[in-house]
Structure formats: structure tokens, C-alpha cells
Amino acid sequence: MRKHATVQGVAVNRRLFFVLASLMIMTLSACTWDKEPVAFAPEYTGPAAIFEKEATIEVTSDDATPPQRADDAQMQETLWELGVQRGGEAIVNRFLRDPLILRGGVAAGRTISPLIERQGEFKARADEVTGAYSQYFTASGTLMPAKEFAGTVTAVEHDRYYSGQYDTIFLQLETPLPPNAQESFFLVAQTIPTGQAGYTRLVAGGRLYQVQDNVAQGRLLESLEEVEIGDTVFLMPLDLAPVAEAVPEPAEADADYPEVVVEPVTESPVAPQEPAETK
């Protein structure tokens, strides 16, 4: 009898545990979905600042998966696509490595479309020895923390509250996007813990892969911190242009410092002295 009562007590405790766990999940979900964006202060209506980054990249046909050996026309499109991917990754990385403080504002009539733009032309050529194709591109990205080009993280992969690098996140954008806006890039910002609304910092970046009006989903390419539901997303337009060769990085300015040459100090050899004769 006592054993039967113990089993019943365990069953009741399990039911109570699952009920309490369900209530906690429902409460957390309700709080999560009601979370308001914090990147914009209602009392501030000034124009948003514009930030730009630039990088020069090289892509080759060996970067394709699997490596391709097609004709020049097909490889030209492949190199463009690889350039967009590598260029977007490079610009996202440069924005995240720059500790910017962003203040949300308004677009003030400015636009940032198209979100991906190819500029210029090039002719793909294969290397005579390896048969691989290669091309240099200059990528430039723009960040304007304006509400018209922003959105909010509404869900993360596997119904979690936070997400990290290479995870999928779901977004709700302020402005509907055309279907060709998929595969464009974005940056994720979190509020700065200063007690003053409207200021954020960048914590991650990614690329969209599906857009339905103002709802989209994307994959994080790089993250410095965990991305949470309620974080703000800024669209990042990307321009890509082919260049003949890599632009050399600027050399360090050392002309203001005179060159100092230190010669080793050597002493002239001293002849050994013979011991004095003893009487």
C-alpha cells in the first residue's frame, strides 16, 4: 500500500513539474514577443548618420563548391556570386571590428536600394597553368541606422531565446522588401546599457535567404555576442566592382621618425702580458 502511494506521489510530482515548466515557457514566450525595439528613441527625429566600409577581395573558381571548370561565360557569373558572398562577409567583419556607437534616426528622404549592386564589367580568364579562374573585387557596404531600413529579431532557430554564429534567425522588417532582396546582408545591434534609449552597438551580421514582404529569415555569418529576440536589425547595402588587381594596403607612415643604426661596440684586442720574472 505504501509503495502504491509512493508511485502515485511521484506521478503527481511529475505532472506538477511539467505544468510549471509549461507555464514558465508560456510566460517567457509572452514576454519575448512583446519586447519592443530599443534602437530608436521616440523623442529623437533627427537624420541617421551614414557609415561606410570598403574591402578588396580575391575570389577563384576553387572557392566554388564543388570547384568548377566551366566556360568563361558561366565562370563569370560564378565569380560575381562568389564576390558578393566574400565581399559581404568582409564588410560585415569590418563593421563588427569597429566599435561604433549608433543612434537611431530617420532616413530623411534618403534611400539605400538596391541592396546588392554590381558595378562595372570584367572578362573571366583561366590561368594557363592551373586552369582556375580568379578575379579581384572592391566591396563597399553602407550602414544607415534609420527606422525605415531596420527590423526586429522575432525568433531564433529551434525556438530558442538566443542565437549564435551560423544559426538561423527570423526578422520582421519595418518596410516590405521585394523578392530580389533575398541574399542581401544585415547587421544586428543591441542596446548600450547606459539607461538612455536610442543608442546601440553592433554584435553580429548575416545574410538573408528568404523574404516575404516584411518578414524574412537569414543566417548569421559572424557574431561577437549572442543574438537575442528583440534585437534590432539594420539592412546593409553592398556594392561590388571588379578591379584589375589588388589595391595595396597603405604602408605605415614612418618617415617622421629618423632611422637609427646602432653599430656594435668592439674593443681593440689587448696583447697578453707575460708574467714578470721573479728573482
Q: Is 177 exposed, middle or buried (0-12, 13-18, 19+ CB in 10 A)?
A: buried
Q: Looking at the domain assignment, is residue 1 inside a domain? A: no
The whole-angstrom separation of Cα 66 and Cα 64 is 5
Q: Looking at the domain assignment, is residue 169 inside a domain? A: yes
Q: Could you give the dihedral angle defined by the CA atoms of residues 90, 93, 99 and 100, in that order, rounded to the nearest 10 degrees?
A: 60
pLDDT tens sequence across 9-42: 544 455 544 434 333 333 333 444 444 445 788 7
Beta strands 215-223 and 238-243 are unpaired
| CATH assignment at residue 87 | 2.40.10.170
pLDDT for 70 equals: 54
Name which of 118, 114, 237 is nearest 187 in CA terms. 237
pLDDT at 263 over 50: no
pLDDT for 64 equals: 67
> Quick one: pLDDT band at residue 60, thresholds 50, 70, 90?
confident
> Quick one: pLDDT band at residue 4, thresholds 50, 70, 90?
very low
The whole-angstrom separation of Cα 276 and Cα 279 is 10
Give the residue-averaged pLDDT of 217-229: 93
Beta strands 238-243 and 116-118 are parallel
Question: Hey, which residues does 242 pair with through a beta bridge?
Answer: 137
Helix ranges (H only) for 112-260 are none
Contacts of 45 (CB under 8 A, 6+ apart): 105, 106
pLDDT for 10 equals: 43
Q: φ and ψ at 84, to 5 degrees?
A: -65, -45
> Quick one: pLDDT band at residue 249, thresholds 50, 70, 90?
low
> Quick one: pLDDT band at residue 276, thresholds 50, 70, 90?
low
Q: Looking at the domain assignment, is residue 40 inside a domain? A: no
Q: Looking at the domain assignment, is residue 4 inside a domain? A: no
The whole-angstrom separation of Cα 230 and Cα 212 is 20
- Write out the H or E segment, with its range, that includes residue 223: strand 215-223
Its domain, for residue 63, covers 51-243
46 CA to centre of own chain? 26
pLDDT at 266 over 60: no
pLDDT at 71 over 50: yes
Q: Looking at the domain assignment, is residue 279 inside a domain? A: no
Q: Looking at the domain assignment, is residue 29 inside a domain? A: no
Q: Looking at the domain assignment, is residue 63 inside a domain? A: yes
Domain count across the chain? 1
Give the residue-averaged pLDDT of 74-97: 93
pLDDT at 75 over 50: yes
Contacts of 4 (CB under 8 A, 6+ apart): none
> Quick one: pLDDT band at residue 136, thresholds 50, 70, 90?
very high
pLDDT at 80 over 50: yes
Q: Do residues 155 and 169 make contact, with C-beta atoms less than 8 angstroms apart?
A: yes
pLDDT at 259 over 70: no
Q: Looking at the domain assignment, is residue 260 inside a domain? A: no
